Amino acid sequence: MNCGCAEIATPGLLDLFDARARMIAAARPVEGAERVPLAQAAGRVAAEEVTATLDLPGVDNSAMDGYALRLAERSPEGLPVTLRVPAGAGVLRLPPGGCARIFTGAPVPLGADAVVPQERVSLDERGRVHIEGELTEGANIRRRGEETRAGELLLPAGARLDAAAIALLASHGIAEVAVVRRLTVALISTGDELIEPGANRVPGQVYDSNRAMLTALLARAGCEVLDLGVIADTSLDLRQAFARARDEADLVMCTGGVSVGEEDHVRPVVERLGGIVFHGVAMKPGKPFALGYLGESLEAGTPLIGLPGNPVASLVGWQLLALPFVQGRQGRTPTPLQRFPVIAGFTRRGTRGRRELLRVVLDWTSGEPVARLAGGQGSHMLSAASQAHGYLVMDANKNVEEGHAYGYCPAAQFLD
């Protein structure tokens, strides 16, 4: 039964996008770097600028299979093939009065000023080359250094090394790269009702899905996870867990216990060991989100992110608020939030006082995307979250009207 508590507008909450901006501004990159082989660099963050070691291409080369020639020597009688240049050959000189059979990537012979594709060539009975259509100087030639010149910037510090970036470095003969050390994140679940998946369950107990979810998300983001398990809802147990996390991790992430109920002990313990920067965001789900620290200050201590206990609220809090903070701690520029208008295929009453992130799937039946609810929208309902393609981000107090366009955030952007 819905008691209506979720519809109560709570004063003093941060706007979602203000909270996101504050998270990004608060993130300080961790110190320390290491050099790793290129084969182990996938997903890591470049710790320094990487510059080109050579010109690419290293020589003028052919963009396709065809024939290299001097335009001035083109003749109605055709040109004899006087040279064959495969890929990997050295730079040769084109003899006068002839053309070269050339292949994609092969060095253009000295003296040639164009390459004609083999599809535009015919050979007569003497084996002479006849060219169809017009040809301009430099046609189908990749010029030396047209992609990069030695000494130019290849990748800036803070770039995440994806497959294309790794290929770029490899193309310059770079075998290893300096990367930011991995961020260590201490992960804590709170709640006396939580048990590990696989354990025997009695009524009232709940399997801990948040830790499994966040472990996967942190690993995908390139973090090392220090799993401190499920911590009992007592001040003593929480103090001990937070003290260890403070000393061994670069960031603490906990789920549950950050609301204001009598059994929510996280906030008072954090305030004794450090402080709270802000608590409460005007979004649904995810209102009890908190940013704090363990130690003297946010800058000098260990940052702490408090996520709600409800799993969908925890997921949304990670995607919209925690992830850009993690990216900033890794030395990355947080990825800008992607939003574009999509037509709603349903009608729904708006939420008072908070932006609502509705889990939706995109229906392409009509040729244009139409957002439809992925299922139940409760903050405990993982089934809809697991099927959703993204979110319709609704302003506070605004109803969804079928056929109208609203801001849509694709969920795939949060997997970077």
Q: Which of 179, 194, 272 is nearest to 228 (CA)?
A: 194
C-alpha–C-alpha distance, residues 394 and 400, integer Å: 8
* Cα separation, 33 vs 181, whole angstroms: 5
Positions of CATH 2.40.340.10 in the chain: 340-415
Asked if the model's pLDDT at residue 235 lies above 50, the reply is: yes
Q: State the span(s) of the chain assigned CATH 2.170.190.11.
A: 61-142
pLDDT of residue 258: 65
Confidence of residue 379 (pLDDT cuts 50, 70, 90): confident
- Percentage, residues of the chain above pLDDT 90: 87
Pick the CATH number of 35-55+148-180 from 3.40.309.10, 3.40.50.300, 3.90.105.10, 3.30.300.30: 3.90.105.10
Cβ-contact 258, 290 below 8 angstroms: yes
Over range 10-16, report the average pLDDT. 83
What is the pLDDT, as a whole number, of residue 416? 75
Tokens of 115: 């390459």
State the average pLDDT over residues 334-339.
93
Confidence of residue 261 (pLDDT cuts 50, 70, 90): low
What pLDDT is recorded for position 257?
A: 74
pLDDT confidence band for 259 (50 / 70 / 90):
low
Residues of the chain with CATH 3.40.980.10: 11-32+182-329
CB 38 within 8 A of CB 174: yes
pLDDT at residue 3, as a whole number: 39
195/245 Cα distance (integer angstroms):
21
Q: How far apart are CA 144 and CA 59, in angstroms?
A: 5
For residue 260, name the pLDDT band (cuts at 50, 70, 90). low
Calpha distance 158→362 (Å, rounded): 33
Its CATH architecture, for the domain 11-32+182-329, is: 3-Layer(aba) Sandwich (3.40)
Specify the DSSP class assigned to residue 319: I
Weakest mean pLDDT among 247-261, 265-279, 332-346, 361-375:
247-261
Q: What mean pLDDT do residues 332-339 have?
A: 92
Give the SS3 label for residue 21: helix
Average pLDDT of the segment spanning 283-292: 95
Q: Please write the tens of the pLDDT for every residue from 143-190.
A: 999 999 999 999 999 999 999 999 999 999 999 999 999 999 999 999
Residue type, 78: G
284 contacts 351 by C-beta, under 8 angstroms: yes
- As a whole number, the mean pLDDT across the chain is 93
What percentage of the chain has pLDDT greater than the value 70?
Answer: 96
User: Average pLDDT, stretch 244-270?
Assistant: 84
pLDDT of residue 7: 46
Where does CATH 3.90.105.10 sit in the chain? Answer: 35-55+148-180
CATH code linked to domain 61-142: 2.170.190.11
Q: Give pLDDT tens digits for 355-368.
A: 999 999 999 999 99
Mark residue 127 as left, alpha or beta (left: phi above 0; alpha: psi -120 to 50; beta: remaining): left
pLDDT for 2: 38
Give domain 340-415's CATH architecture.
Answer: Beta Barrel (2.40)
State the average pLDDT over residues 409-415: 95
Q: Dump pLDDT digits (tens) for 82-131.
A: 999 999 999 999 999 999 999 999 999 999 999 999 999 999 999 999 99
Q: Where are the alpha helices (DSSP H) in 172-330?
A: 210-220, 235-248, 266-273, 311-317, 323-329
Q: How confident is the model at residue 6 (pLDDT cuts 50, 70, 90)?
A: very low
pLDDT in the model for residue 335: 86
Res 11: pLDDT? 60
> What are the structure tokens assigned to 111, written together?
């003296």
Helix (H, G, I), strand (E, B) or coil at 65: coil
| Residue 94 pLDDT | 97
